[in-house]
Chain A
Amino acid sequence: NAGVTQTPKFRVLKTGQSMTLLCAQDMNHEYMYWYRQDPGMGLRLIHYSVGEGTTAKGEVPDGYNVSRLKKQNFLLGLESAAPSQTSVYFCASTLSGGGPYEQYFGPGTRLTVT
């Protein structure tokens, strides 16, 4: 199993540009999450999904959109990037049913917005 993978690993955007981060998991997990991690701030939840076709807002959803068209994929979109969105983004997934359980994290995407 590859676990949780993220594409791309690094990206530099100019203010106002858009991009999509892709997360894929091969563990048949129902729940998927997008977090951002900033120095000294820990992990903050952006959006999450409890199953295919569903999404919900987390703690810091503004400026981001998500889609879960397939169970194994969870996409994070930035429509108009801002310097405040410079961060490291982590995707995670977890089992459902009888839980909660630990989350499995991807390797991260380092995004810089200039």
Chain B
Amino acid sequence: GESVGLHLPTLSVQEGDNSIINCAYSNSASDYFIWYKQESGKGPQFIIDIRSNMDKRQGQRVTVLLNKTVKHLSLQIAATQPGDSAVYFCAATTGGSYIPTFGRGTSLIVHP
């Protein structure tokens, strides 16, 4: 079955730096990917998504890059702020399924 994993459980950055959170997936047929942000004591919140017919998608201060060749995606956060401190999850679905597989999460710590 599909497995989704993040490369680092914790990432520490200084305020104002750019952050890059990585995620690898195992199923080459995966075709929809989402990044979620989970603040302490809250439910996950959608940040940005990308479908497999795209390599890059930009939002407000966030960019997701998809490399299907090596089955890897990344979330880039520009000018990281203390409010960005949270756990970030990637999720992948395959073949139009509505059942995503979640990674275990990377904790982003932003130091002022």
Contact = CB atoms under 8 A, between A and B. Distances in A.
Interface of A: 4, 31, 40-43, 45, 48, 50, 58, 90, 92, 94, 96, 99-108
A104 B46 contact: yes
A11 B60 CA distance: 37
B96 A42 contact: no
Given A42-B89, A100-B32, A100-B93, A106 B43 contact: yes
A100 B103 contact: no
A100 B46 contact: no
A48 B49 CA distance: 22
A18 to B, nearest CB: 24
Contact of A105 (B9, B45, B49, B93): B45
Interface in B65-102: 89, 93, 96-100, 102
Contacts of A107: 42-43
Given A42-B89, A108-B42, A31 B104 contact: no
B53 to A, nearest CB: 14
B98 A96 contact: yes
A42 B105 contact: yes
12 contacts: A48-B99, A50-B98, A99-B98, A100-B32, A101-B49, A102-B34, A102-B36, A102-B46, A102-B49, A104-B46, A105-B45, A108-B42
Interface string B51-69: 0000000000000000000
A43 B36 CA distance: 12
Interface in B34-48: 34, 36, 41-46
Interface string B10-45: 000000000000000000000010101000011111
A42 B104 contact: yes
